[in-house]
Amino acid sequence: MTTSETADGTGVVPSRELGRLEQLPIRRIVLTILTIGLVVIVGGGILKTLTLSGAEHLGWAFWANLVVIGLALGAVYALIALGYTLVYGILRMINFAHGEVFMTGAFVSFFFAQAYAASGFLNRSPWLSIAILLVVSMAVSTGVALLLERICYRPLRNAPRLVPLITAIGASLFLQNTFQGFFGAEPRGYPRPDVLSGTISIGPVSFDKMDPVVFATALIGMFVLNRFVQRTKTGRAMRAVSEDREIASLMGIDVDRTVVVTFVLGGLLAGIAAVLYAMTFGQVSATMGFLPGIAAFTAAVLGGIGSIPGAALGGLVLGVSESVGPYLLLSGVHVPSPFELRAVITFSILVLVLIFRPGGILGTGEAEKV
């Protein structure tokens, strides 16, 4: 977006009269055309979908149902996205292994879940067993996040940006393949207590019993995180390090400790997300971290990477647009199987948000190079 840079990179614009063509605000014109086009396409699609009649008519209960599904999924994305955004805020690096932090929590808690299901404990005291599963998953994810920080990132803290990024990708592959090597590549079924199986109805809207549980748990997690960052001394230190690491260190803040706390927080949230996700969709596998990881990273960028409320909002927006978007935009124009085009819709939204707001929905507006 920078226009002041010249070809030779000196950043000095030679002063001369601007030509007619150059005086035109090209960027604004392009954006305006894009906006009009978008409004027409999106508006047209939505209008056609909502005016479908007869057997094809989709009632509001259907849309409400999709929103509930999207909010639950989005809440999980938000929890993972917070891990990306916290680390980015402090270290200005993308922790691409975060999807695997999520996976390890889910995978290890699976062994407990399986044992509880086999012994009947899962159905006898579902809430207690879910609490234990959450604790196990959070502990494992946090442990893995800490190891990552200590082994892969801390030695490279002052290296060029690209180095820890590559390390992160390497660590991600390492964790995936290690789990695949130890526990096999086949996916395993994650049990769900009977209390949470099946559907529940509120008026004409009925949805999976798991959805409200996921949403509420994730909200509590995000609320606690927000309180922690805003109200505690450590939280204040985190914000200070995020603003300027060197100055914070000069002010007597232990940067290493703050970074560790950041990774702990990211790991804890990923651990919560892992159990919720595995229980909702019913499986764990060594590669399960990849897609939610990418989606959560997208959510973090969408909301404005580095911003905590941004990650939460980005996750929810992404979740809802993933479940509602394809049907709302494409049903009316009779595109076959809109479901398959979820990723297209989601990433179009990401691209559009970044065109209009390069820093993300709640971002600061600074365009960062990865």
CB nearer to other proteins: give 217 or 307. 217
- Token pair belonging to 95: 């922790």
From the number of C-beta atoms within 10 Å of its C-beta (0-12, 13-18, 19+), residue 211 rates as buried
Asked if residues 176 and 106 have their Cβ atoms less than 8 Å apart, the reply is: no
123 vs 249, beta carbon nearer other proteins: 123
Task: Specify the residue, 132 or 279, whose C-beta has the smaller distance to other proteins.
Answer: 279
HSE-up of 305 (CA within 13 Å, CB side)?
21
CB of 330 to other proteins, least distance (A): 11
Q: CB of 139: closest distance to other proteins in angstroms?
A: 24
Of residues 64 and 135, the one with the C-beta less far from other proteins = 64
In angstroms, give the least distance from the CB of 97 to other proteins.
19
Nearer to other proteins, 76 or 241 (CB): 76
Instruction: Name the nearest CA neighbour of 134 among 285, 270, 292, 291.
Output: 270
Q: Minimal distance in Å, beta carbon 283 to other proteins?
A: 5
Centre a 10 Å sphere on the Cβ of residue 10 and count the other Cβ atoms it contains. 9
C-alpha–C-alpha distance, residues 336 and 251, integer Å = 60
Q: Which residues bind other proteins (CB under 8 A)?
A: 55, 58-59, 62, 65-66, 69-70, 73, 184-189, 191, 197-199, 201, 206-210, 281-283, 285, 288, 291, 322-324, 326-327, 336-337, 339-340, 342-343
Structure tokens at 302: 């969408």
Helices 60-91/290-303 angle, 10° precision: 80
Find the shortest distance in angstroms from Cβ 81 to other proteins: 17
CB of 340 to other proteins, least distance (A): 4
Minimum Å distance from CB 227 to other proteins?
Answer: 30
For residue 207, list its beta bridge partners: 200
Q: Which is nearer to other proteins, 258 or 298 (CB)?
A: 298
Whether the Cβ atoms of residue 366 and residue 318 lie closer than 8 Å to each other: no
Q: How far apart are CA 123 and CA 140, in angstroms?
A: 24
CB of 152 or CB of 278, closer to other proteins: 278
Report whether 340 contacts 322 (CB < 8 A): no
Say how far apart CA 104 and CA 176 lie, in whole Å.
9
Q: Which is nearer to other proteins, 43 or 59 (CB)?
A: 59
Q: State both tokens at 198.
A: 């099946």
Least distance (Å) between residue 357 CB and other proteins: 27
Look up residue 250 and give its two tokens.
């000069």
